[in-house]
Amino acid sequence: MKTHRYSPHSDKPFFFLFFFQDDFEFRSKPFAAGPVYLSRIDSFEKLTRGEDVKSVYMLNLCTKDVDCEFLPGDTLAILPRNDENEVDSLLFRLNVDSVSDNRYCLVDDCEKPFNIPKHVPREGTLRNVFMSHINIRSMLKKVFLKKLLFYTTDCEERRVLEDCASANSKQYELLISECPTLLHILDRFPSCSPPIELILHYSSPLLPRYFSIASSPLQKDTLSIIFSVVEFENSLKGVCTGWLEKLLNVQQSKVPFYFRKPTGFRMDSPEESRVLIAAGTGIAPFLGFLRHKSLLEKPKKLGGTYLYYGCRYKEGDFLCAEELRKYVSNGILAALYPAFSRESTSKCYVQNELSKGRDMLVDLILNDGALVYVCGNKSVAKDVKETLVECFAEHLRVDVADAAKIIGSLIKEKKYLVDTWL
Ligand SMILES: Cc1cc2nc3c(=O)[nH]c(=O)nc-3n(C[C@H](O)[C@H](O)[C@H](O)COP(=O)(O)OP(=O)(O)OC[C@H]3O[C@@H](n4cnc5c(N)ncnc54)[C@H](O)[C@@H]3O)c2cc1C
Ligand SMILES: NC(=O)c1ccc[n+]([C@@H]2O[C@H](COP(=O)([O-])OP(=O)(O)OC[C@H]3O[C@@H](n4cnc5c(N)ncnc54)[C@H](OP(=O)(O)O)[C@@H]3O)[C@@H](O)[C@H]2O)c1
């Protein structure tokens, strides 16, 4: 079997402010509906303020040269880069910092023990591989820890590593929770000095992250997303959202993205009535629906849109509140039902609002044929479904099993659509 040899050579110096063509060609692009575009950040706005709320931003990309063939509700996929400081530290710790900007090319070599996976470009620089192509935060499997043993010289460190990597080890979970990334592991075992080929061999590709489009295709030259910065207890931020947040402060930054193949979760017929149910950043696709509706030529008959929206506070994270209120006053939204979960001692979720308006809601869905859309995290989707089943059962005076069947058929007929994550 042929393997590859990694052979750095030092002809051309590189600067990593720019993207290279191979950044996109070699990267994994699941569900891509078209090419990768590189768009400049036009503007951004922080949508949250105060304490006890996440940092959420509206990001507007300039799409002058983009073929914006999407419908409200569609998603785009962003190809993120790893954190530069984290990459620097890792390259240093792996002892390759002095050659990381030199160009390499992989050559076939049957004698080398490590196969270099396909997601590593055949030519390039190590820094670019670590910045754009491999997931440097990927889960450290036991088989990889076992391999690290070969390159660890200290006896005590070897003992701990061996223990963690053994089949029934309880220590493994503990180690991974304390050392969630390769860099943490290398810090924990200072005498471990693995070759770069081993790291590349066990690496996984850096995958794109999906974001709902929060704008209308009718908006000229701009495309918006809303993202919430993921923050971990150990002060690390999410790869993509942490990177995007940093980009906001860099002049002329560009973001590579592609349109993801559409699912059914989109607004293709604005004349139909809709019940939209969102929590947190789940509002993003619905903002796209409303912006689109407000830009459509009048006087087309448009269906009523009813929005149930859950957030923590009236002031802190009621995303785009002004814009949503404007849609109520100009009739784009037939009604807005906000639910604030942390304004009082008792939690108020979208489910509470749905239950309050049960009769109107069931009537809208069954008699007006309103489509139901739910967007948020998985637990919101599950709990909302349970509440709707209860609403149907109580309104129609049927038992819960029969009400669940009605919701089941709405799902089957694609009249109840869900977009969730986690
Ligand atoms: C169809 C679809 C549409 C999406 N639309 C949006 C959107 O419009 N806006 C938006 O902000 N996000 C959206 N997401 C989620 C988004 O794609 C990313 O997963 C998210 O932004 C985190 O990416 P990251 O690289 O910053 O974090 P990563 O570095 O990938 O870390 C994420 C990891 O952190 C953990 N985690 C803990 N809390 C959270 C949390 N609240 N969110 C995510 N991960 C968490 C999980 O284990 C997860 O694997 C969508 C996802 C899908 C599948
Ligand atoms: N197209 C998509 O699939 C898509 C698009 C955008 C976002 N998302 C995903 O949607 C999620 C939104 O997260 P976020 O961080 O923006 O929201 P968040 O701020 O964590 O939560 C928003 C609100 O939902 C409440 N909530 C929590 N659990 C709930 C439940 N079971 N039922 C009803 N309400 C509940 C929260 O209340 P408390 O915190 O007070 O409990 C809060 O008031 C993320 O996972 C994001 O990735 C998916």
Q: Nearest-CA neighbor of 213 among 27, 357, 37?
A: 37
Q: Is the CB of 421 under 6 A from ligand 2?
A: yes
CATH (domain of 134): 1.20.990.10
Q: Which of 66-70, 287-291, 319-323 has the lowest mean pLDDT?
A: 66-70
Ligand nearest to the CA of 48: 2
Position 110 scores a pLDDT of: 62
Residue reference for tokens 């509906």: 33
Q: Within 13 A of 44's CA, how many CA atoms are on the CB side?
A: 24
Q: How far is the CA of 304 from the centre of ligand 2 (A)?
A: 25
Which residues does residue 8 pair with via DSSP β-bridges, in sequence order?
A: 104
Domain count, the chain: 3
> For residue 11, is it within any domain?
no
Instruction: Give residue-wise pLDDT tens across range 13-34.
Output: 333 345 555 578 889 899 999 9
Instruction: Give residue-wise pLDDT tens across range 193-244.
Output: 999 999 999 999 999 999 999 999 999 899 999 999 999 988 899 999 999 9
Residue nearest to atom 47 of ligand 2 (CA): 421
Q: How far is the CA of 377 from the centre of ligand 2 (A)?
A: 5
Residue range 362-391: average pLDDT?
A: 96
Residue 381, pLDDT > 70, answer: yes
> For residue 119, is it within any domain?
yes
Q: Nearest-CA neighbor of 131 among 93, 98, 89?
A: 89
Q: Is the CB of 48 under 6 A from ligand 2?
A: no
Position 5 scores a pLDDT of: 39
Indicate whether 302 and 384 sit together in one domain: yes
Q: Can you read off the two tokens belonging to residue 241?
A: 């959202």
CATH (domain of 319): 3.40.50.80
Indicate whether 49 and 186 sit together in one domain: no
End-to-end Cα, the chain, rounded Å: 40
Position 45 scores a pLDDT of: 97
Indicate whether 278 and 310 sit together in one domain: yes
Ligand nearest to the CA of 374: 2
Position 300 scores a pLDDT of: 64
> For residue 102, is it within any domain?
yes
Indicate whether 183 and 219 sit together in one domain: no
Residue nearest to atom 4 of ligand 1 (CA): 211
Q: How far is the CA of 406 from the centre of ligand 1 (A)?
A: 31
Residue range 296-300: average pLDDT?
A: 73
Q: Is the CB of 166 under 6 A from ligand 2?
A: no
Indicate whether 41 and 106 sit together in one domain: no
Residues enclosing ligand 1, CB less than 6 A?
75, 209-212, 225-228, 230, 238-242, 281, 284, 419, 421-422
Position 9 scores a pLDDT of: 40
> For residue 166, is it within any domain?
yes
Q: How far is the CA of 5 from the centre of ligand 1 (A)?
A: 35
What Cα–Cα distance (Å) separates residue 123 from each residue in 10, 17, 99, 103? Answer: 13, 18, 14, 7
Which residues does residue 192 pair with via DSSP β-bridges, in sequence order?
A: 152
Dist CA 108 CA 193 (whole Å): 24
Residue range 388-417: average pLDDT?
A: 97
Indicate whether 89 and 73 sit together in one domain: no
Residue nearest to atom 9 of ligand 1 (CA): 227
Residue range 282-303: average pLDDT?
A: 89
212 residue type, one letter? S
pLDDT band per the 50, 70, 90 thresholds, residue 122:
confident
Instruction: Give residue-wise pLDDT tens across range 31-86.
Output: 999 999 999 999 999 999 999 999 999 999 999 989 888 999 999 999 999 999 99
Atom of ligand 1 nearest to the CA of 56: 11
Domain range holding 295? 274-421
Q: Which of 10-19, 38-47, 253-262, 377-386 has the lowest mean pLDDT?
A: 10-19
Position 22 scores a pLDDT of: 57
Q: Is the CB of 346 under 6 A from ligand 2?
A: no
Position 289 scores a pLDDT of: 97
Position 2 scores a pLDDT of: 37
Max mean pLDDT range (119-133, 263-277, 398-412):
398-412
For helices 378-396 and 358-366, the axis angle rounded to 10 degrees is 90
Indicate whether 348 and 368 sit together in one domain: yes
Q: How far is the CA of 338 from the centre of ligand 1 (A)?
A: 23
Residue 92, pLDDT > 50, answer: yes
3-state helix, strand, coil in the chain (%, to 5): 35, 25, 40
Atom of ligand 2 nearest to the CA of 420: 3
Position 411 scores a pLDDT of: 97
Q: How far is the CA of 271 from the centre of ligand 1 (A)?
A: 32
> For residue 265, is it within any domain?
no
Q: How far is the CA of 49 from the centre of ligand 2 (A)?
A: 17
> For residue 1, is it within any domain?
no
Q: Is the CB of 263 under 6 A from ligand 2?
A: no
Indicate whether 416 and 291 sit together in one domain: yes
Which of 79, 204, 207, 210 is the best mutation target for the ligand 1 pocket, counting ligand atoms within 8 Å of the beta carbon and taking the most?
Answer: 210
Q: How far is the CA of 226 from the centre of ligand 1 (A)?
A: 12
Q: Which of 201, 221, 240 is the last residue of a domain?
A: 201
Q: How far is the CA of 393 from the centre of ligand 1 (A)?
A: 34
Residue nearest to atom 38 of ligand 2 (CA): 341
> For residue 13, is it within any domain?
no
Residue nearest to atom 24 of ligand 2 (CA): 279
Indicate whether 297 and 417 sit together in one domain: yes
Atom of ligand 1 nearest to the CA of 212: 8
Indicate whether 102 and 56 sit together in one domain: no
Q: How far is the CA of 240 from the centre of ligand 1 (A)?
A: 8
> For residue 34, is it within any domain?
yes
What Cα–Cα distance (Å) separates residue 31 from each residue in 207, 215, 235, 298? Answer: 12, 21, 32, 35
333 residue type, one letter? L
Indicate whether 287 and 408 sit together in one domain: yes
pLDDT band per the 50, 70, 90 thresholds, residue 113:
low
Position 68 scores a pLDDT of: 83
Q: How far is the CA of 312 from the centre of ligand 2 (A)?
A: 10
Instruction: Work out the mean pLDDT of the chain and round it to a whole number.
Output: 91
Indicate whether 353 and 376 sit together in one domain: yes
Dist CA 243 CA 240 (whole Å): 5
Ligand nearest to the CA of 30: 1
Q: Please give the share of the chain, as a percent, with pLDDT higher than 90.
A: 80
Ligand nearest to the CA of 422: 2
